[in-house]
Amino acid sequence: MFKLFRVPILITVSTLVLTFIFGGITAAITVAILGVLEISFSFDNAIVNAKILKRMNTRWQQLFLTVGILIAVFGMRLVFPLVIVAIAAHINPLAALSMAVTSPTEYTHHIIEAHPAIAAFGGMFLLMLFLDWLLGDKDILWLAPIESRLILMGRVKNMSVTIALVVLVMSSVVFGHIEMVLIAGCLGLITYLLVSSIDSFFNEGKVESIAKAGLATFLYLEILDASFSFDGVVGAFAVTNDIFLIAIGLGIGAMFIRGMTVYLTRQGTLSEYRYLEHGAHWAIGALAILLLITIKFDIPDVITGLIGIGFISIAFVNSVAVNRKENK
């Protein structure tokens, strides 16, 4: 376990020291807070990713920890906000970078303006992930009275897409920004269908290529990670306007989450604690709904984090209780 977290620990310590030297104690504390927030928000991400990552060989798992983390940190936590501001302000990304450095308040304003589109896209992507799992067949049931009935509903063709579209339309009507929400939400839904179809195509034996299957799964995990990061990236601006501190803090948290993903995969934790996957998916469903609600209402970050941790903690406790009962 220490081997997996050795590099994240060393990078975290070095980063905090350098941040303290060049930015002072306030900057170092801000980075530490953002790192902790990212970990608390994304633990359900690690559990879901672990289920997917176990299909990949050791080489692809290592790439997920190295190349993948670079994409996650620089792509999602730094470049993505710049692209959002560039689109919202009708300027090029370099001008957006200049704005972030010279006028962080204006930069934050554009991020907030674009939030309905970000929330709709991420919310629909995660909602589809949750619905496909919820309505699909399962060997193990956690909330049996609910899950068993929903599995029966899932046998109706395209039921998950239908439910998602109904939720999207209702969200646009109730929370406002109708055109923006509908367009962004449909893009999120289409993105999910596209990447999940590609992943299934390469991993169900339809293409005899381990490399292609590994690449498809790798890309699917990166997009999944991006969707989980929407709330964290936007919420980070409540802590600081400095995009570099945001990228550093969230990047530190992302490294630990990726290490946790590989650890869960190699230790077989999901098999040992049978309800963890269920708790993580229910947390994802809650996160998807919360993202849609934030189109109109502000929801404190602590609530988002606690709901996810709550579902996973209850699932873990239930798993331990069942294991003890069976052992007796």
The closest of 44, 52, 38, 46 to 283, measured between CA atoms, is 44
Report the 10 Å Cβ neighbour count for 216: 20
The pLDDT score that the predictor gives to residue 211 is 60
Please give the average per-residue pLDDT across 140-161, as a whole number: 85
Choose between 258 and 132: higher pLDDT.
Answer: 132
d(CA 120, CA 312): 24
The pLDDT score that the predictor gives to residue 172 is 93
Alpha helices for 176-242 (secondary structure H): 178-203, 210-236
The pLDDT score that the predictor gives to residue 1 is 59
pLDDT at 93 over 90: no
pLDDT at 206 over 60: no
Q: Residue 14: in which H helix or E strand, if any?
A: helix 2-23
**pLDDT digit string (tens) for 96-108?**
888 888 888 888 8
Please give the average per-residue pLDDT across 200-224, as a whole number: 66
Question: What residues have CB less than 8 Å from 96, skipping those under 6 apart?
Answer: 82, 83, 85, 86, 89, 107, 110
Please give the average per-residue pLDDT across 294-300, as a whole number: 85
Would you give the end-to-end CA distance of the chain in angstroms?
29
